[in-house]
Amino acid sequence: MAADPTEDPLSGAALDTLAVRAGQVRGPEGEHSEALFLTSSYVFANAAEAAARFSGEVEGNVYSRYTNPSVRTFEQRIAALEGADQAVATASGMAAILSTCMALLRAGDHLVCSRSVFGTTTVLLNKFLAKFGVATTFVELTDIDAWREAIEPNTRLLLLETPSNPLCEIGDLAALADLARSRGVLLAVDNCFCTPALQRPLDWGADIVIHSATKYLDGQGRCLGGVVLGRAELMAEVLGFIRSAGPSLSPFNAWVFTKGLETLRLRMEAHSAAAQALAEWLAEHPAVERVFYAGLPGHPGHELARRQQRAFGGVLSFRVRGGREQAWQVIDATRILSLTANLGDAKTTIVHPATTTHGRLGDAEKARAGITENLIRVAVGLEALDDIRGDLARGLDAL
């Protein structure tokens, strides 16, 4: 039987196929790899076409602040992977969070946010959104009663990350989506740590997914970018904000992310397998007090993570026996690992959260968040596991 030419050949395709092919539009050159459209604006055939494009009567590119073919390819490909109607790309992960809030909230609105989100997200909400009359209540990610009690009549949005950074706590997406739906509020999930290769929050009932594409979507630490995904009517609001405010994704960065998506699942599986092996090894090491990784059966979120994730991801943390001095000794003894706060890279990174990523927190807040002086976070890259283990063993064996 002849194929129906009107049917999308990718409809029903598996994630691996979508990751490599979704969103590609071939030009007249027949290029095999996706072309890069490094242009700020577009020309029109005549004045009438210019008028029709500007008014939106005829679809087409006008200006790269709001439409660009390379950005659109990335948006369509990540939307296919997350199972979203639509995606809107942004200049960074923070721009994605800001654009979501600016598009969907107004003065007098309230949001509830997990206490264990990316530190800059907390600053954005407390310092900047608060200035415009949007208040935030912070709750424990894993305490569903706390989420329920924090919802006020003016609450519009619940915001969280799962797994959390750096302790890998797991939020119950289905339960939080039920709660959001029953109270008429939106659930937004920052899916940066898992990516759609490991977890698809929309499948569990979330309304919005947010990414820092800077991390695993790129996967090699080259470009900043972000993306917001969800239903078309919500994304139209987000795109409207980007169009007017300008935190748009560069076409070059979009092209890098598009190519990054092609290897996303393979990388996430490799990161996860190496992190699992490293967590198991650390848990047995006499100089290690405790390991935080949802792939370990003793972790409180293990069963939940098994249910809602395909694998446990590449980030883990552990407490050494001792305090800051011992933690710093282990970090300073490494010769291969990169001492940097970044993650989601082919290169393994190591950091001391209490004095870097979480250094802004007061002592009481650190204690409540479990950010102790002896805690080390590792974002496992793609080097040989023996070399990563050997690099950590040098400091740990000397303690």
Ligand X SMILES: *Cc1c(COP(=O)(O)O)cnc(C)c1O
Which residues bind to ligand X, rule: CB under 6 A?
92-94, 118, 161, 190, 192, 212, 214-215, 224, 226
- Residues in Cβ contact with 162 at an 8 Å cutoff, skipping those fewer than 6 apart: 141, 169, 170, 171, 173, 189, 193, 194, 199, 308
Q: Which two tokens stand for residue 216?
A: 């695993």
Q: CB-wise, 226 or 395, nearer to ligand X?
A: 226
Please list the residues that pair with 135 across neighbouring strands: 110
User: For residues 110, 88, 347 and 380, what is the CA-based torsion angle, rounded to 10 degrees?
Assistant: 50
Q: CB-wise, 94 or 235, nearer to ligand X?
A: 94
CB of 189 to ligand X, least distance (A): 10
Query: In terms of DSSP H, where are the helices of 246-384?
Result: 251-261, 264-284, 302-308, 324-332, 363-369
CB of 269 to ligand X, least distance (A): 20
Q: CB-wise, 37 or 257, nearer to ligand X?
A: 257
Nearest by Cα to 289 from 326, 318, 330, 332? 318
Output DSSP code: residue 248. P
CB of 121 to ligand X, least distance (A): 6
In terms of DSSP bridges, do strands 135-139 and 110-114 run parallel, antiparallel, or are they unpaired? parallel
In a 13 Å sphere around the CA of 17, the CA atoms on its Cβ side amount to 6
CB of 117 to ligand X, least distance (A): 7
Q: How far apart are the first and last CA of the chain?
A: 70
CB of 123 to ligand X, least distance (A): 11
Give the helix/strand (H/E) hosting 205.
none
**Residue in the shown chain whose Cβ atom is closest to ligand X:** 93
Q: CB-wise, 94 or 279, nearer to ligand X?
A: 94
Q: Which strands sit side by side in the sheet containing 349-351, from one edge to the other? A: 288-292, 315-320, 375-379, 349-351, 338-339
Q: CB-wise, 73 or 349, nearer to ligand X?
A: 349
Q: CB-wise, 287 or 351, nearer to ligand X?
A: 351
* Residue type at position 267: R
CB of 238 to ligand X, least distance (A): 16
DSSP per-residue codes, 47-94: HHHHHHHHHTSS----BTTT--HHHHHHHHHHHHHHT-SEEEEESSHH
CB of 218 to ligand X, least distance (A): 9
Residue 133, SS3 per DSSP: coil
CB of 372 to ligand X, least distance (A): 21
Q: CB-wise, 15 or 224, nearer to ligand X?
A: 224
User: From CA 335, how far away is CA 381, in angstroms rounded?
Assistant: 15
Q: CB-wise, 44 or 252, nearer to ligand X?
A: 252
